[in-house]
């Protein structure tokens, strides 16, 4: 098992900390919530004082799993904690508060995204993992920590979220073995199935339909792309959360090499989401890097300033 020394160090930090801050990434998804909250309940079982910070609220579709409200960092005395554990958020929100902590506070970074530039007092970062939830599972296994059915459900939620429900190429035999163990420990398949298969509201389906209608295939590089404007969101009564699966859906179109979805966000930001599959032989992180973004070879993203303008000839960014 990887990270034996690091896992021992993390256990020591936890043992010597009374107050611990966990940090989830902005626009929280299944993995950042699954890993952070699984760790939250573990730390609470040890009698620790714990908060989970995030710049954004929990999406409605994930509230089924969570009875805890995430705390906005601006509402917390960040320097009151003995240690800080940033999970899946190292350069996705945590960087905004990194310099607010004191020298005496232990900073732990746990992540599975590539190209991470930040360092903590303890770094548990490896892009070969499917998810941070998989790393947390390894930590629990290494220290023989009891995984309750609540924790098992949260870890399974995170793993399924970042493997596309075990469909992406990061679904290794090890991941399948972990899933089996979590099911044996009482992970609620019914809860997760309800979230996966019953979450598609009419507004979500309308937005997907509009995105598919706009989709175009570039004959030169076989990229399939589409755009989502703020006007689309308003007219479909949809939210940013409803855009999450569009890139993966487009990526299933035969004879395409990769997908790109550009969606307008608040503050004049356009978010780009890229997806591909291993057999297609395209590293979408190289595309993301050209625009200051990053990610995995098969799932990457970036953000740029601008506005999407559509006319009779198509659409462009200005």
Please say whether the beta carbons of 12 and 37 come within 8 A.
no
Task: Look at residue 12 in the predicted model and tell me its pLDDT.
Answer: 98
Kind of pairing between the strands at 269-275 and 258-265: antiparallel
pLDDT value at residue 198: 56
For residue 60, the model assigns a pLDDT of 78
Cα distance between residue 288 and residue 285, in whole Å: 5
Asked if 10 and 131 sit in the same domain, the reply is yes
Same-domain check for residues 76 and 212: no
**Domain assignment of residue 247, given as a range:** 202-317
Per-residue confidence (pLDDT) for residue 317, from 0 to 100: 83
How many separate domains does the chain show? Answer: 2
pLDDT for res 121: 96
Cα–Cα distance for residue pair 94/215, rounded to 1 Å? 34
Same domain membership, residue 268 and residue 145? no
Q: What's the pLDDT score for residue 238?
A: 87
DSSP 5-64: HHHHHHHHHHHT-SEEEEEPPSS--HHHHHHHHHHHHHHHHTT-EEEEE-SSPPPGGGGG
pLDDT of residue 115: 77
For residues 219 and 310, membership in a common domain is answered with yes
Please tell me whether the overall predicted TM-score, pTM, comes out greater than 0.85 for this model. no
Q: How many Å apart are CA 145 and CA 137, to the nearest integer?
A: 9
Residue that is last in its domain, among 163, 196, 229? 196
Query: 260 to each of 5, 205, 234, 257, 273, how far by Cα in Å?
Result: 40, 19, 21, 10, 6
Q: What is the pLDDT of residue 36?
A: 96
Which pLDDT belongs to residue 267? 87
CATH of the domain at 162: 3.90.1640.10
- Distance (Å, whole) CA 12 – CA 296: 31
Q: What is the CATH number of the domain that holds 260?
A: 3.10.310.30
- Regarding whether 223 and 181 lie in a shared domain, the answer is no
Determine phi and psi for 263, rounding to 5 degrees: -130, 135
Query: Given this model, what pLDDT does residue 136 score?
Result: 98
pLDDT of res. 201: 73
**Among the three residues 164, 196, 228, which one is the final residue of a domain in this structure?**
196
Checking DSSP bridges between strand 223-228 and strand 258-265, what pairing results, if any? Answer: parallel
Per the document, the length of the chain is: 318
Q: Select from 271, 270, 296, 269 the least CA-distant residue to 285.
A: 296
Domain termination site, one of 196, 228, 263: 196
* Residue 277: per-residue pLDDT: 86
Same domain, 191 and 273: no
Mean pLDDT for back-to-back runs of 10 residues, the chain (318 residues): 94 98 93 96 97 91 80 96 95 92 96 87 94 97 96 94 80 93 89 65 86 91 94 89 85 92 91 90 91 86 88 76
Q: What is the pLDDT, as a whole number, of residue 1? A: 76
* H helix or E strand, kind and range, residue 246: helix 246-250
Sequence-separated (6 or more) residues with CB below 8 Å from residue 158: 30, 31, 32, 33, 34, 35, 38, 131, 132, 133, 134, 136
Strands, E assignment, the chain: 19-23, 49-53, 83-87, 106-111, 122-125, 216-217, 223-228, 258-265, 269-275, 294-295, 299-305, 308-311, 314-317
């Amino acid at each position: 098992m990887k990270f034996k020394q690091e896992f021992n160090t993390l256990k020591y930090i936890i043992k010597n900390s009374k107050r611990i801050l966990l940090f989830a990434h902005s626009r929280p998804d299944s993995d950042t919530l699954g890993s952070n909250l699984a760790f939250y309940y573990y730390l609470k079982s040890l009698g620790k004082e714990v908060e989970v910070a995030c710049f954004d609220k929990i999406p409605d579709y994930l509230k089924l799993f969570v009875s805890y409200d995430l705390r906005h960092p601006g509402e917390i005395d960040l320097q009151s904690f003995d240690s800080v554990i940033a999970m899946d958020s190292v350069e996705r929100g945590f960087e905004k508060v990194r310099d607010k902590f004191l020298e005496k506070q232990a900073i732990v970074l746990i992540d599975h995204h590539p190209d991470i530039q930040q360092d903590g007092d303890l770094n548990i970062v490896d892009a070969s993992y499917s998810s941070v939830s998989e790393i947390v599972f390894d930590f629990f296994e290494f220290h023989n920590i009891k995984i309750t059915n609540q924790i098992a459900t949260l870890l399974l939620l995170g793993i399924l979220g970042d493997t596309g429900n075990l469909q992406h190429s990061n679904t290794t035999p090890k991941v399948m073995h972990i899933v089996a163990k979590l099911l044996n420990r009482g992970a609620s398949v019914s809860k997760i199935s309800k979230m996966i298969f019953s979450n598609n509201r009419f507004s979500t389906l309308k937005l997907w339909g509009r995105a598919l209608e706009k989709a175009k295939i570039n004959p030169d590089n076989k990229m399939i792309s589409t755009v989502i404007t703020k006007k689309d969101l308003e007219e479909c009564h949809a939210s940013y959360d409803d855009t999450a699966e569009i890139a993966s859906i487009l990526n299933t179109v035969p004879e395409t090499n990769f997908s790109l979805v550009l969606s307008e966000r608040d503050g004049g930001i356009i978010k780009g989401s890229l997806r591909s599959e291993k057999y297609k032989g395209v590293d979408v992180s190289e595309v993301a890097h050209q625009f200051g973004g990053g990610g995995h070879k098969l799932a990457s993203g970036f953000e740029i300033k601008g506005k999407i303008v559509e006319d009779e000839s198509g659409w462009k960014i200005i």
